[in-house]
Chains A and B, each alone.
Chain A
């Protein structure tokens, strides 16, 4: 269950790189990218959320920022954020602080 009043941050065990607008993420295990592990990529909204996971802002704050930037309803962005963070936590790419 994702708590939007909590702070989430990007795991240290990964490599992430933005290539032409696509954020590619490779999970690392013991500092090594596993040849069988999946590479993940995020869409534009996902990249916007990911880049705000600085370990300082809670999700509510991030949702408000993105809703302002994209001129979209808060509730709509909240749904996107919760779905994405749930998925990223499940994959071990993001952890709750």
Chain B
């Protein structure tokens, strides 16, 4: 029997892919291999790939259901579903023309496209399981439901301690990632970090929504410290003791999806908890590559 099922595990959630076409070794980007699992888990999101667009889509994508239209995205909301219509505008767009119909809690996703043949599907090397340019829409609501959120940041594991480096575009996240990787810091993701809160505290999770670093680690580690980056002429850190400043910095880095009032309330509650329990620092760094020493010092790690 041809393989029409695939399973991936991330942040405690198993993503099940059921496809109308056979799935080959080259259907998805090699980065997904790190996240493969053998079967369904305790907590699942099911994605179906269909290679046609049903007529019933027209009833869902009526104008009164449209809540957003910008660039490649048209988003609709009906009583029981969310519909994301993605149309690439540029020839080099890694995303594909497709329509995703999510159920209310985003645990079942029907993806429809008539832009991909069976032959293309075998070798497509898709960078996102949704077939879009990113899987961010796949995770935002389920993470919120599971006491989590997504921060625009880079995440690392160093000796079992999780750290996040957050900063605006151009703040030096990619530069710093390269420096830290050379010093043995394990990269969890270099663009979108998944954070969840459970009875043991906050955890950060390796995931495939990354930027330039292809080899990320599929692990979850306790979140110890968040650093907000600023390039400088020397390396040093300043602890943020002001809760207002901490929340301000966190909100600046928050990935903001389409949320209902209740979901925003929950997200703000998580931000409030992060402010209370996680140490935050402004991290000023130069290009000498020695910033890892400052980070290790903050984390209380032996520098020998």
- Interface, chain A (partner B; CB < 8 A): 15, 17, 19-22, 24, 26, 28-36, 39, 41
Q: How far is the CA of A75 from the CA of B46 in the complex (A)?
A: 61
* 16 A-B pairs in the complex with CB atoms less than 8 angstroms apart: A15-B261, A15-B265, A17-B264, A17-B265, A17-B269, A17-B272, A19-B271, A20-B247, A21-B243, A24-B268, A32-B67, A32-B258, A32-B260, A33-B256, A39-B251, A41-B248
Chain A residues with CB below 8 A from B261, complex form? 15, 28, 31, 33
- Main secondary structure on B side of the interface with A: helix
Report the interface size for chain B: residues with CB under 8 A from the other chain: 24
Chain B residues with CB below 8 A from A21, complex form? 243-244
* Pairwise interchain contact B67-A30, C-beta atoms closer than 8 A: yes
Chain A residues with CB below 8 A from B259, complex form? 26, 32-33
The distance from the CB of A13 to the nearest CB of chain B, in whole angstroms, is: 9
Q: How far is the CA of A22 from the CA of B248 in the complex (A)?
A: 8
Residue from A21, A30, A35 with most neighbouring chain B CB atoms (10 Å)? A35
Which listed residue (A20, A28, A39) contacts B256, Cβ 8 A?
A39
Q: How far is the CA of A29 from the CA of B77 in the complex (A)?
A: 12
Chain A residues with CB below 8 A from B260, complex form? 31-33
Q: How far is the CA of A85 from the CA of B247 in the complex (A)?
A: 24
* Pairwise interchain contact B264-A26, C-beta atoms closer than 8 A: yes
Q: How far is the CA of A19 from the CA of B273 in the complex (A)?
A: 9
Q: In the complex, given contacts A28-B261, A32-B259, what are 7 additional A-B residue pairs having Cβ atoms less than 8 angstroms apart?
A: A19-B251, A19-B275, A26-B259, A30-B77, A31-B261, A33-B260, A35-B257
Q: How far is the CA of A24 from the CA of B254 in the complex (A)?
A: 13
Chain B residues with CB below 8 A from A29, complex form? 67
The distance from the CB of B30 to the nearest CB of chain A, in whole angstroms, is: 30
Chain A residues with CB below 8 A from B265, complex form? 15, 17
Q: How far is the CA of A33 from the CA of B144 in the complex (A)?
A: 14
Q: How far is the CA of A15 from the CA of B261 in the complex (A)?
A: 6
Known: A15-B261, A15-B264. A20 touches B243 (CB 8 A): yes
* Pairwise interchain contact B251-A32, C-beta atoms closer than 8 A: no
Q: Tell me, yes or no, whether B246 is within 8 Å of chain A by CB.
A: yes
Q: Tell me, yes or no, whether B52 is within 8 Å of chain A by CB.
A: no
The distance from the CB of B185 to the nearest CB of chain A, in whole angstroms, is: 29
Which listed residue (B68, B246, B272) contacts A34, Cβ 8 A?
B68
The distance from the CB of B74 to the nearest CB of chain A, in whole angstroms, is: 13
Chain B residues with CB below 8 A from A22, complex form? 244, 247-248
Q: Tell me, yes or no, whether B288 is within 8 Å of chain A by CB.
A: no
Q: Tell me, yes or no, whether B92 is within 8 Å of chain A by CB.
A: no
Chain B residues with CB below 8 A from A39, complex form? 251, 256
* Nearest-CB residue, chain B, relative to A19: B247
* Nearest-CB residue, chain A, relative to B264: A15
Q: How far is the CA of A22 from the CA of B245 in the complex (A)?
A: 9
* Pairwise interchain contact B70-A36, C-beta atoms closer than 8 A: yes
* Nearest-CB residue, chain A, relative to B246: A20
* Pairwise interchain contact A32-B77, C-beta atoms closer than 8 A: yes
Q: How far is the CA of A41 from the CA of B251 in the complex (A)?
A: 10
* Pairwise interchain contact A20-B244, C-beta atoms closer than 8 A: yes
Q: How far is the CA of A76 from the CA of B248 in the complex (A)?
A: 27
* Pairwise interchain contact A33-B244, C-beta atoms closer than 8 A: no
Residue from A19, A29, A33, A34 with most neighbouring chain B CB atoms (10 Å)? A19
The distance from the CB of B119 to the nearest CB of chain A, in whole angstroms, is: 35
Chain B residues with CB below 8 A from A35, complex form? 68, 256-258
Chain A residues with CB below 8 A from B268, complex form? 15, 17, 19, 24
The distance from the CB of B75 to the nearest CB of chain A, in whole angstroms, is: 9
The distance from the CB of B79 to the nearest CB of chain A, in whole angstroms, is: 12
* Nearest-CB residue, chain A, relative to B254: A39
* Pairwise interchain contact B258-A33, C-beta atoms closer than 8 A: yes
